[in-house]
């Protein structure tokens, strides 16, 4: 049995949004609470390392795919998808886009500022300028990633 392109796009949209949302939730619920317990130098060292390693190939596939596949699926809908399901896929793509805008306009600049503070000797100030804002933005983008996944799941199974 051959799977048609619209169904492939739905599967990819579901997989990428789900894995991306799971990654965001895991980071919010595990990594950041764990780092909250370490001293300032350890926190900034760890976050700088994470910020250098995270944008690797797998993360970028999930990050970009969590937006690209819902958008593609919205435009290449299967013949049997109801109008409401197509709308849900469009709203899912919108949620993913908002999350990406939060990432690129908020979290990434904070990551860059933390990296540029390296070697200045004031890890307390670097952490203070980073942690609260970054975590709040991360929680917000996690919410949008989870919403995108939920909407894709309903659209695909609806």
Confidence (pLDDT) at 153: 97
**pLDDT top residue among 65 and 5:** 65
Alpha-helical runs (H) found in the chain: 5-26, 32-36, 40-53, 57-75, 83-102, 108-116, 123-157
Helix (H/G/I), strand (E/B), else coil: 79: coil
Please check the confidence at residue 21 and state whether its pLDDT lies above 80.
yes
Token pair belonging to 88: 């849900």
Please check the confidence at residue 128 and state whether its pLDDT lies above 90.
yes
Average pLDDT (31-55) is 96
Confidence (pLDDT) at 40: 97
C-beta of residue 30 within 8 angstroms of C-beta of residue 87: no
pLDDT bucket at 105, cuts 50 / 70 / 90: very high
């Amino acid at each position: 049995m051959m799977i048609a392109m619209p169904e492939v796009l739905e599967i990819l949209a579901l997989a990428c949004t789900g894995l991306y949302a799971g990654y965001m939730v895991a980071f919010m619920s595990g990594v950041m609470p764990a780092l909250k317990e370490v001293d300032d130098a350890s926190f900034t060292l760890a976050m700088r390392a994470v910020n250098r390693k995270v944008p690797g190939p797998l993360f970028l596939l999930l990050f970009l795919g969590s937006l690209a596949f819902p958008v593609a699926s919205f435009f290449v809908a299967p013949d049997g998808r109801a109008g409401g399901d197509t709308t849900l896929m469009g709203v899912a793509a919108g949620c993913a886009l908002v999350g990406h805008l939060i990432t690129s306009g908020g979290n990434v600049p904070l990551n860059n500022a933390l990296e540029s503070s390296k070697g200045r000797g004031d890890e307390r100030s670097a952490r203070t300028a980073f942690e609260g804002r970054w975590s709040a933005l991360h929680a917000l983008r996690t919410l949008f990633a989870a919403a995108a996944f939920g909407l894709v799941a309903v659209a695909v199974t609806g």
